Amino acid sequence: MQELPVLQCALDAKGLEAQRDRYARIAAARVAARREPGELVVDFDEARLDRALLEQTLAIERECCPFYDLRLEDARLTVRVAEPHQEPALDAIAHMLGCAGGP
């Protein structure tokens, strides 16, 4: 499996491994995803979603990668980046959630 670049992430190797594990657990509740330039939108099955785990994951993401604009509304996660060179970071989250990586 090809590793995707992580831009400006402040997590060390152990922290990144733990974050990947959290994303993998959250991915089990993913029902749909859409990737467009500058944006990733992921819908979850609310009944299967561990919302506390998702909120913890997003809190960590906000600290380690402040360039993400992360919004959670009901069971929909929207992740945005402002700069074109940050697009690979969206692909990294899409990859960890088991979504297709490209727009």
Q: What is the pLDDT of residues 58-85, one digit of tens each?
A: 999 999 888 999 999 999 999 999 999 8
Q: Is residue 7 part of a domain?
A: no
Domain assignment of residue 46, yes or no = yes
- Kindly state whether residue 84 falls inside one of the protein's structural domains: yes
Q: Tell me: the pLDDT tens digits for 6-50?
A: 456 767 789 788 999 999 999 999 999 999 999 999 999 999 999
Q: Which domain holds residue 82?
A: 13-96
- Number of structural domains (the chain) is 1
How does DSSP assign the chain, residue by residue?
A: -PPPP--S----HHHHHHHHHHHHHHHTTEEEEEEETTEEEEEE-TTT--HHHHHHHHHHHHHH-TT-EEEEETTEEEEE-SSGGGHHHHHHHHHHTT-----
Contacts with 1 (C-beta within 8 Å, 6 or more apart), sequence order? none
pTM: 0.84
CATH of the domain at 22: 3.30.1360
